Amino acid sequence: MPAAQAKACCAAAYGSDVVALLLGESYHPGGLALTRKLAGRLAPRRGDAVLDVAAGRGATAMLLAREHGARVTGVDLSPANVDAATEAARAAGLTDEVRFRAGDAERLPVEDASVDAVVCECAFCTFPDKPTAAAELARVLRPGGRLGVTDVTVVPDRLPAELTGLGAWIACVADARPLDEYAATLGAAGLRVTHTEPHDDAIATMIDQIEARLAMVRMTSRARAEALGLDFARAPAVLEAVRAAIRDGVLGYAMIVAEKPR
């Protein structure tokens, strides 16, 4: 898929109300519990500048501000997400601590060496030009700054047909890579990987949650969901393909922590 089309696809998908309904407050496997584990690895201090790349509707940014006292900027490709996140921060009384702006991960609207930590959850896998995105993550970090990524991992040549094509871009699968390839990409950008750990159970749990939410949406707002593009007939096959890929070791989820050398 051409880069521009992939970006547009992801922005439209993750800015939609139906995705918010299916995924809940946090648009990634493991939810805020895994975000807290990642934040524990990054250990931001009060007043630290933190960048949340592909911030979605702001759940992670607000958690980092509330629980760690960080000053957080969230960047997201979807204007709808930026608007929703800004409103959520206002409602939570966090407008002084958190702000959101539209931007592309491959051209971050952030100054060089200006942040103490970067968070990127379930999004690096969707960036069409991963080396450029990794270079951008490294560019904005101060020397000694830390990067925390959680993301889908795959064995690309073993993906089933149901998990390729346009729908797979929406599901964060089509261009996901093996864990060691992510680490190599970050290393080539000048970052030093300090920690990795698997969280395959998080993606399995998320599939169960999506299945339950699908059932609820089917009963309560099917017509609206279908108008937004949700294909109830195809969804069971896709979900089962994900479960099978997890069982076969083809699909997983992982945490990666890296730092920018001083």
User: In CATH, what number is assigned to the domain containing residue 124?
Assistant: 3.40.50.150
Strands of the sheet with 251-259, listed across from one edge: 98-102, 71-76, 49-53, 115-121, 141-154, 251-259, 192-198
Query: Can you give the pLDDT at residue 12?
Result: 43
Residue 8 has pLDDT above 70, yes or no: no
- Mean pLDDT along residues 115-141: 96
Query: Can you give the pLDDT at residue 231?
Result: 77
Helix, strand and coil in the chain, % to nearest 5: 50, 20, 30
Query: Can you give the pLDDT at residue 22?
Result: 54
- Mean pLDDT along residues 171-186: 86
Instruction: Give residue 213's domain range.
Output: 3-259
Asked whether the beta carbons of 22 and 217 are under 8 A apart, the reply is: yes
CA–CA separation, 175 and 230 (whole Å):
21
What is the model's pTM? 0.84
- Contacts of residue 73, defined as CB under 8 A and 6 or more positions apart, other chains included, come to 49, 50, 51, 52, 61, 98, 99, 100, 101, 110, 115
Token pair belonging to 18: 């139906």
Tokens 């169960």 — which residue? 208
What is the length of the chain? 262
Domain count, the chain: 1
Q: Indicate the DSSP class of residue 162.
A: G
Q: Calculate Rg over the CA atoms of the chain.
A: 17
Task: Tell me the one-letter amino acid at 114.
Answer: S
Query: Can you give the pLDDT at residue 19?
Result: 55
CB atoms within 10 A of CB 60: 30
Query: Can you give the pLDDT at residue 214?
Result: 82
Token pair belonging to 65: 């501000």
Of the listed ranges 114-123, 136-145, 237-246, the least confidently predicted one is 237-246
Query: Can you give the pLDDT at residue 23?
Result: 57
Find the Cα–Cα–Cα–Cα dihedral 56, 91, 31, 77, rounded to 10°.
0
Tokens 């407050």 — which residue? 25
Helix or strand (DSSP H, E) at 44: none
Helix or strand (DSSP H, E) at 159: none
